[in-house]
A and B are shown apart, each in its own frame.
Chain A
Amino acid sequence: MKKLVAQRPAILRRAEFLSPKDLLQRAGAITVIYFILHLAGLREYTSVLNGTVGSVALGWKLSGFLAVIYILFYLALVVLAPILVLAAGLLLAWQKIGARRATRPDRRRAWLAEL
């Protein structure tokens, strides 16, 4: 089991909470789950939004449950996932600018030393 965990690809390894990689992983997970639900045909059940049962055979409760799951992941895909990706981009840009600033005084010191 330990061996299997160690072999997990870098992209699947758990990242630090709210780090750029963590945000991207969450966006990716939302996308994958949404498409699985979509391919399973759950979009049809969203008719509960207007008070129509998604499937007479499955009944109100199960149809409603499937609709809620689908709608939540759809909203997560179109509203939340882009925000996560944008936030990851902002954090990366922030980190880069921070790193550049941090190295700037060293360069100046080196230049003064040269003089």
Chain B
Amino acid sequence: MPRLLAGTIALLVAAVIWLPCLHFFFFRPAAKFRQPQGLSPAATELAARHLQLWTDPVQREAELKKMRVSNAEWDFMGRSYLAWSLANLCLRDPANRPAYLQTMDRIIDETLRLEQQEGMYFFLMPYAKDHPFLVRPAHSLFLDGEIALMLAARRTIEEKPAYKPLLTERVDGMAARFKKSKKLLLESYPDECWVFDHGVALDAIKMADRLDGADHSELIRDWLAMARQRLVDPKSGLLISACQTDGTPIYGPEGSSIWMVAHSLQLLDADFARDQYDRARHQLGAITLGFGYAHEWPKTWKGDADIDSGPIIPWFEISAGSSGMAFIGASSFGDDSFLASLATTVEFAGFPKRQNGRLKYCASNQVGDAALLYAATLGPLWETVNHGGRQ
């Protein structure tokens, strides 16, 4: 047989043997990423790296600077995901609770200081200034909801009297604006209402109710009824990502949003949450040759890649944003086979860097790693809230 033909056939046969085996070399069982109790190896290493970032201002500054070049929101969300992770870490690893709480307080205090000093636009993307907010005075539910959830999570773990009025003020403000809104939709950006932010804000309101004895159950019930009626895309059955204050959709169902929305709904309506996760898993989640990933849009919706979806890898239509957030969905709903396949992918294509017991994914950034840490630790905080609200 001619050499070239023999070589080509050998290469093809070798590819057929190797490609299905590739994932075995990167395989991580779900338990390596998240454990029902205690800390998984991934959670331990990711937490160690983030704790170091918050004790080393030079390194932290460098990380934040890189993210802010692309998106100021990431600076803020990196703080939120880390603070929420630390609350779960307190419950999973009580021996180190003082260190976790100290870091959590530092994050909250610095975030509040920056918000007060620089104004809310400091954590928003520049287009927030293109048009005025419709509701005056201007408030972003994105900031209010996530800050309120940070404060509520901190107080759920251990009361801090200084944070009580701060949480009450945020919650009362959000509740009052919900009351004034005809459609129960609040702006995160001018005339742009994100379902993600509503889920987080309502979680914070529910947690504050458990902590301080207020009752916003009617608001939560009404919002859920409105969401089912107006915010569900009829073709996919998935919640859309964003709409205008009158309910007109802006962005349809998106992977970078829905996985977290399903997680936040767990605290508000477990059945609705499960339904959204199952639909997202079916329409957005995929496993090829042992590698798990997620699409940004279901087949029934066409969208353009943006800062949330991240670059879309053609052919497989893999979205970095959706795949990262899929960890939160898979962890929340105990979908271990999908979680293991996602963990396998991040070992393969996340470019992990392990050093002195600390882990970072080079293909990610601080907010991405903080979201992964949250996925690796979530659970105990929601359980605590569901069982009464305070540790």
Contacts and interface: CB of A to CB of B under 8 A. Distances in A.
B4 A18 contact: yes
B242 to A, nearest CB: 19
Contact of B18 (A45, A49, A82): A82
Contact of B320 (A18, A49, A86): A49
Main DSSP-derived SS at the B contact region: helix
Main DSSP-derived SS at the A contact region: helix
A112 B138 CA distance: 102
A49 B226 CA distance: 37
A56 B66 contact: yes
Contacts of B353: 43-44
Interface string A79-90: 100111111101
Of the four ranges (under 10, 10 to 19, 20 to 34, 35 or more), the interface on chain B belongs to 35 or more
Interface residues of A, number: 32
B302 to A, nearest CB: 21
Contact of B311 (A17, A23, A49, A54): A49
Contact of A53 (B70, B321, B364, B368): B70
Given A46-B351, A56-B65, 12 more contacts: A16-B3, A18-B8, A44-B353, A44-B362, A50-B310, A50-B324, A53-B66, A78-B25, A79-B18, A87-B7, A88-B10, A90-B13
26 contacts: A17-B7, A18-B6, A18-B8, A19-B3, A23-B11, A43-B351, A46-B363, A47-B364, A49-B310, A49-B311, A49-B363, A50-B311, A50-B363, A50-B364, A51-B71, A56-B62, A56-B69, A79-B18, A79-B22, A83-B11, A83-B14, A85-B14, A86-B17, A88-B10, A90-B14, A94-B6
Interface of B: 3-4, 6-8, 10-11, 13-15, 17-19, 22, 25, 62, 65-67, 69-71, 74, 307, 310-311, 320-321, 324, 348-349, 351, 353, 362-365, 368
